[in-house]
Chains A and B, each alone.
Chain A
């Protein structure tokens, strides 16, 4: 199993450009998440999905959109990139909530995004 993979690993954008980050998991997990990690801020949840075709806002959703058309994929889009979106982005997945007390999240390797 590859686990959770993210594409691309690095990207540099100019302000106003758009891009899509792809997350894929092969563990048949129901839940998927997008986080951003900034120095001194820990990981903050951007958007998440509890199943195919569903998405919901997390702690810091502004400026991002997501889609979950297939169970194994979770896409994060930036329509008009801003320097404040310079960050490291992590995708994660987990089993469903019926195992709420025991399920852990599995993380991808991250995408380092710089917006100039």
Chain B
């Protein structure tokens, strides 16, 4: 059974710092891994999707990497800003593909202090 873990559960950093969020999964047979952002009281917004054949994806100040063999992904946020404060969730899509189901980690709540 696929399990997804995110460490740490919470993180507080000063503005401008570069930071890394971690995600690990137990079964390397995945189709993709996604990082989502959730603001308080809001739904989830997709940030980056990495296909199983890819090593990384970049969007602006965000860079996500994927190492299937070790069951790990990282989300790198460069030059953090207070507006980056939110909960970040990773999720994996595993076989069978005809369900589209995602398995989520518990999330890392990030606070960026001005």
Contacts and interface: CB of A to CB of B under 8 A. Distances in A.
B28 interface: no
Interface of B: 4, 31-32, 34, 36, 41-46, 49, 51-53, 89, 91, 93, 97-102, 104-107
A41 B102 CA distance: 14
Interface size band for A? 20 to 34
A48 interface: yes
Interface of A: 4, 31, 33, 40-45, 48, 50, 56, 58, 90, 92, 94, 96-97, 100-110
Contacts of A100: 31-32, 93, 97-98, 100
A42 B100 contact: no
B101 A104 contact: no
> Which of B31, B101, B105 has the most CB atoms of chain A within a 10 A radius of its CB?
B101
A94 to B, nearest CB: 5
A42 B32 contact: no
A106 B49 CA distance: 13
A110 B43 contact: yes
A58 B101 contact: yes
B105 A104 contact: no
B78 to A, nearest CB: 22
B110 to A, nearest CB: 16
A32 to B, nearest CB: 9
Contact of B44 (A40, A50, A56, A90): A90
